[in-house]
Structure 1
Amino acid sequence: MDLLNMSDLQVSLIIIGIVIIVGVAIFNWAQQVRYRRRIESTLDHQHDDALFKKNDAHRSPETHKRIEPELDQSFFLNNTSQHIPTIEPGNIPEINSLPEDNSEAKTPVETETFSPADVYDSRSNYIVIISADDKIPDTELDNLLQRRYEFSKPLLWFGKSEKSSAWEEITTGTTTKDTSFTSLRGCLLLADRSGPIREIDLSKFRDTVQDFASHIEAKIECPDIVCAHEQAILLDKFCADVDVMIGINIIGKDNGAFVGTKIRALAEASGFRLESDGVFKYRDENNHILFTLTNYEPDAFKPDKMKTITTHGVTFLLDVPRVANGERVFDQMTQLAKIFANTLGGIMVDDNRVPLSENGLARSKQQLINIQSSMKENNIIAGSPHALRLFN
């Protein structure tokens, strides 16, 4: 076709066609680049250890984040026929140490060695001291105790008499006895799983105890509110770093299902007890929860539905900061998980449904040890009354 003899309309249509073709080619190229980057980022992503899950549900809308053991290289060497994606080892976030405590309660948190008041130091509590010349009236003390729930965080009161140098925890029932406290110590928790205490709650508590002390003509020692709030934020940051759970899933082979009656029989034979919240709980001789067994699917294990329920899996969970002797408890939970897998005819997997290896379990156990050691170095013993308050 002679371009010179073309009409303006024909030339315009040719140009538009060329522009459309080039545009489609550029669009397709961009899509391919975007898709390739997405695939590469997925393959190169450094996943967290899949057994541990960060307990951040209280601080964000996300569910608990666990760090679970991943497959090691030997698994792929021995299972080349299986097409399973490689999960790179992850790392626990760096755990910062808490600042030193200069209060009178600067002692390790060991409940069997120290008095109850010594467990609660100023690194995790806003502590006030009220000192009176005479016995504090029981009526006034009872009124103060009634206000313990007004400050958004747990508050404990301790009392000391002239004849004793030991602090004694005070409850509402204590004042019905013939008490003779001349000194009071209030310990308001600075942070828990709902986050750090608000500065306005610290101010409200300080004003309350100052008014009380003024009313009974007693002396009072109150820390600075701004410094205490800054300490609360630091404490919350540290607790967030160590607040993790360990989870091991048992799922049916070839997408098979487990029946509720068999799960319950095996769980109770292993020492679990199904409680009203739909969770099997394994407790020690002191009734402390060591680990739990939950449904891998959303439905809870309600006692009245265990005869009819079926599920494609169960999950063992260990709450790291709330369990003492975590290394031993982890071994105990892992052994039970293996028994469940063998008895139910299932396999142990992480949250990505990737089979677990012994090497991966060992790495997760070591990370648990590191976490509990870091807690101990910062005067918080995992599983102690102190830790149970912080991680509640």
Structure 2
Amino acid sequence: MTPFQLVLIGFGVALVLGVLLYNWWQERKYRQESLRLFHREIEPLDLAQPATAEPERVEPRIQLDAAQVHDYASPGNESWGQPEIGAGQAEAEPGPFVAPREPEPEALAAQPAPAPAFEAAQFEQESPLDPDTEYIARLRFSQPVMAPVVGLIEQVRQIGKPVRAMAQGPDGRWEPVAGPSRASYAALELGLQLADRSGAVTSAQIDAFCRALYNFAAEQGGAVSCPDKYAALELARALDLFCIEVDVLIGLNIVAPDGRPFLVSEVHRCATEAGLTLQPDGSYALKNAAGRTLYSLANQSDEPFQPERVGASTHGITLLFDVPNVADGLMVFDRMAELAQRLARSLGGRLVDDNGKLVSQESLQKIHQRLAEAYASMDARGIPAGGERASRLFV
């Protein structure tokens, strides 16, 4: 290090010390000046002179009659009893003892202010959504608005679980949101299904569902109410386990003897005589008056049935019965079992189960009994086979 650098360092240190010293001197100077300007003589406190007594302050007390206490969390319970406010003042000198009077028992109840029509209507009807099978979130608006609900529904349906949406008009009535609309809504409810055949809803799916609603509310000016996530996850797991227990697909197979396959034209004749119709996917189905499939007949090979093809054949066919999706399932199963036996006789095949074992009348009776137990369990759970809940859960 050169002497010139040492001189510069010393000069810098001296400069810093000088600035610090100057600041200290200025601060001390102004402090003395302020003490001189604002100094006042303080008169000593005369302890001999009694202080002026002030009346003791008594806080007002709010007393509610037990009959006037309402659940303030419940909608519409906005009327409260008029509180009794009593206040007293401390007396300067004790007086003669006077027994206190009993408080007046009556209290006037305040009349509740009338709510706006669209707010009162919100509590008149419950949404048709199902809290036992859906995670229901509500979006409320301060005033009825026309909001782009369809875009929100399309977004949340990408989460991976079925979603239903209901809109409430200013008159309080709920209606399903099926497409674009110019109607004004006071509230929206969206139900994320807790379980289906792909499994129970997950924590990440619920988070994505609520996040989409919060973002929508921030854009449209609404308030979102999402239920407890962990309670919903527990309910979803229990619902999924139950669905697994009763979600059974029964198959009765008719297989051709070795070297003698069934002609598809013969299968077509037997199926149509039994009331089954050919479907676009190449299978046959028996449907009820509402158009719902009771049971179906499929080709065991990958090829669909094409009865118009001359000489087409198959080595086996299968009758399929979707247990939870069929109402009056016991009667329908018995009808399908009867058809399976008739097909085996007409086509010259053997009636076997999925393991290749012959299906006897005793075997069919055992299946009938197990079905009866499954249907009783579904009824007890409030999910009757072929009903609205079952049609949503078993898809």
Q: Same fold (TM over 0.5)?
A: yes
**8 Å Cα contact 2:268/2:307 also seen in 1:** no
Alignment pair present for 1:326 and 2:329: yes
Alignment pair present for 1:133 and 2:142: yes
Q: C-alpha deviations, 1:340-389, integer Å up to 9, x for none? A: 12221223222233222222211211211211221121121211232122
Aligned twin of 1:155: 163
1:185 alignment partner, one of 173, 186, 189? 189
Residue identity matched to 1:226: Y
Q: How does 1:167-186 map to 2 (within 5 A)?
A: 167-173=174-180, 175=181, 178-186=182-190
Alignment pair present for 1:251 and 2:259: no
Aligned twin of 1:201: 205
**8 Å Cα contact 2:165/2:189 also seen in 1:** yes
Residue identity matched to 1:156: R
Q: How does 1:43-122 map to 2 (within 5 A)?
A: 118=128, 120-122=129-131
Post-superposition offset of 1:317: 0.7
Aligned twin of 2:20: none
Which segments of 5 or more consecutive residues in structure 2 lack a partner in the other structure?
1-124
- Pick 1 or 2: higher relative contact order, CA cutoff 8 A, min separation 6: 1
Q: How does 1:309-324 map to 2 (within 5 A)?
A: 309-324=312-327
Larger displacement relative to structure 2 (306-315 or 156-165)? 306-315
**8 Å Cα contact 1:129/1:186 also seen in 2:** yes
Q: Distance in 2 between matches of 1:284 and 1:290?
A: 7
Distance 1:262 1:304, change over 3 A: closer
Q: C-alpha deviations, 1:156-196, integer Å up to 9, x for none? A: 1011223134x2111124x1xx5232111101112211112
User: How many residue pairs get matched?
Assistant: 271
Post-superposition offset of 1:335: 1.9
Post-superposition offset of 1:142: 3.3
**8 Å Cα contact 1:128/1:185 also seen in 2:** yes
Alignment pair present for 1:363 and 2:351: no
Q: RMSD of the TM alignment (CA)?
A: 2.2
Relative to the length of structure 1, the TM-score reads 0.64
Q: Distance in 1 between matches of 2:292 and 2:275?
A: 13
Structure of greater Rg: 2
Alignment pair present for 1:218 and 2:226: no
Relative to the length of structure 2, the TM-score reads 0.64
Q: C-alpha deviations, 1:37-84, integer Å up to 9, x for none? A: xxxxxxxxxxxxxxxxxxxxxxxxxxxxxxxxxxxxxxxxxxxxxxxx
Other structure's SS at 1:223 match: coil
1:299 alignment partner, one of 273, 298, 302? 302
Alignment pair present for 1:164 and 2:172: yes
**8 Å Cα contact 2:264/2:306 also seen in 1:** no
Aligned twin of 2:108: none
Aligned twin of 1:89: none
Distance 1:326 1:116, change over 3 A: farther
Which segments of 5 or more consecutive residues in structure 1 lack a partner in the other structure?
1-114
Runs of 4+ residues over 4 Å off in structure 1: none
Aligned twin of 2:93: none
Distance 1:223 1:366, change over 3 A: same
Identity %: 32
Q: Distance in 1 between matches of 2:365 and 2:287?
A: 24
**8 Å Cα contact 2:217/2:224 also seen in 1:** yes
